Amino acid sequence: MARGRMVNKKISNSKRVNDMPLQAQLLFTWLIPHLDCNGCFYGSAQMVKSLVIPRKNWTKKQIEEWLKIMEASKNSEGIPLIYRYTVGNTVDAEQYLVMPGFASEQTGLRYDKEKPEFPTFDGKNTETIQQNVPLSRREQNRREVEEEVEGSSSSLFPQKNVSVNTDIFSGVYKTYEDNIGKITEQLKEALNKAIEEYTSEWVIEAIKEAALREQPKWIYVKGILKNWKTGGREGEPDFH
């Protein structure tokens, strides 16, 4: 994903933007750099809080209210500042958002260089939809984990001539079961991969953090890990 996006100066004169509360204006502006090449991002208040404004002491209730204001702020053609939509119809369904006017404001956007990170949306139907979710370097939902394991389980963890400390893995498994729930074989593969990429300490802390934030989902644990990897953690190794 690109490290940033263009923000047109006309946003400061937009009546729809200026009619919103000041915090909603800031949130709307800060969302823009996080959008993928289709103008999509996570739409739940919790994910927005964690990834867009982690240093703000804003509550999920406040953020949800501001997101709803963005949805209600429509132009003369009835198009809002953002649409929100849900992918999936299970307990692991994920909510996303899209800014309809994103592409027109991003001159020089290279679709040949940048791939979508989130499910696309046609801007017409906000009901629950089912579709394949593009592979993402940042956040991925349960479907991607299943496809990833099914398609490459034999190559995820190549045999190495080193001993494996099973206590490391069992400690992560126990933490997950104590804080989130039952571990399937597919989820175990995903946990193993996360341990290799982020270390067991990070995975354990991310699991506890997800539970603390009342988001007991593997997708949320991965979101925390990738956010830490991108933003860094004081006293932790630099992955870049």
Counting residues of the chain whose pLDDT is more than 90, the rounded percentage is 26
The span from the CA of 148 to the CA of 230, in Å, is 22
Furthest C-alpha separation in the chain: 65
Question: Could you tell me the pLDDT band of residue 89, with boundaries at 50, 70 and 90?
Answer: low
pLDDT at 94 over 80: yes
**Which of 25-29, 72-76, 130-134, 228-232 is predicted with the least confidence, judged by mean pLDDT?**
130-134
What is the rounded average pLDDT of the residues 11-33?
Answer: 91
Tokens describing residue 105: 């404001």
Torsion angle defined by CA atoms of residues 130, 134, 135 and 141, in that order, rounded to the nearest 10 degrees? -30
Is residue 134 in some structural domain?
no
Residue 51 falls within a domain, yes or no?
yes
**Contact in structure between 41 and 118 (CB atoms under 8 Å):** yes
Query: Is the residue at 4 inside a domain?
Result: no
The answer to whether 42 and 20 are in contact (CB under 8 A) is no
Q: Which long-range contacts (CB under 8 A, 24 or more apart) does 15-22 make?
A: 16/73, 16/74, 16/75, 16/81, 17/73, 17/81, 19/73, 20/66, 20/69, 20/70, 20/73, 21/66, 21/69
In the listed set 105, 123, 158, which residue is the last one of a domain according to the structure? 105
**Given this model, what pLDDT does residue 196 score?**
85
What are the tens digits of pLDDT across the range 135-177?
Answer: 344 444 444 444 444 444 333 333 333 334 556 688 889 899 9
Tokens representing 219 are: 């997708």
pLDDT confidence of 131, banded at 50, 70, 90? very low
Q: Cα–Cα distance between 204 and 229 in angstroms, integer?
A: 15
Question: Do residue 148 and residue 218 come from a single domain?
Answer: yes
Residues 146 and 101 in one domain: no
Q: Could you tell me the residue range of the domain that residue 162 belongs to?
A: 142-231
As given in the structure block, the two tokens for residue 116 are: 């979508």
Q: Single out the residue in 81, 105, 129 at which a domain terminates.
A: 105
CATH of the domain at 207: 1.10.10
pLDDT tens digits for range 36-85:
888 899 999 999 999 999 999 999 999 999 999 999 999 888 889 999 99
What pLDDT, in 10s, does the model give residues 175-202?
Answer: 999 898 888 888 888 888 888 888 888 9
Residue with tokens 């956010």: 227
Pair 15, 77 in one domain: yes
Residue 3 has pLDDT above 70, yes or no: no
Residue found by looking up tokens 């132009």 in the block: 75
C-alpha to C-alpha distance for 31 and 184, rounded to whole angstroms: 34
Residues 97 and 158 in one domain: no
Assign residue 25 the CATH number of its domain: 1.10.10.10
Residues with Cβ within 8 Å of residue 85, at least 6 apart in sequence: 43, 95, 96, 97, 98, 119, 121, 125, 126, 127, 128, 129
Mean confidence (pLDDT) of the chain: 76
Q: What is the pTM of this model?
A: 0.52
Residue 32 lies in a domain: yes
Question: Which CA distances in Å does 13 have to 8, 16, 79, 106, 117?
Answer: 10, 9, 18, 18, 30
pLDDT of residue 12: 84
Same-domain status, 84 and 153: no
d(CA 53, CA 209) in angstroms, rounded, equals: 16
Q: Is 216 strand, coil or helix?
A: coil
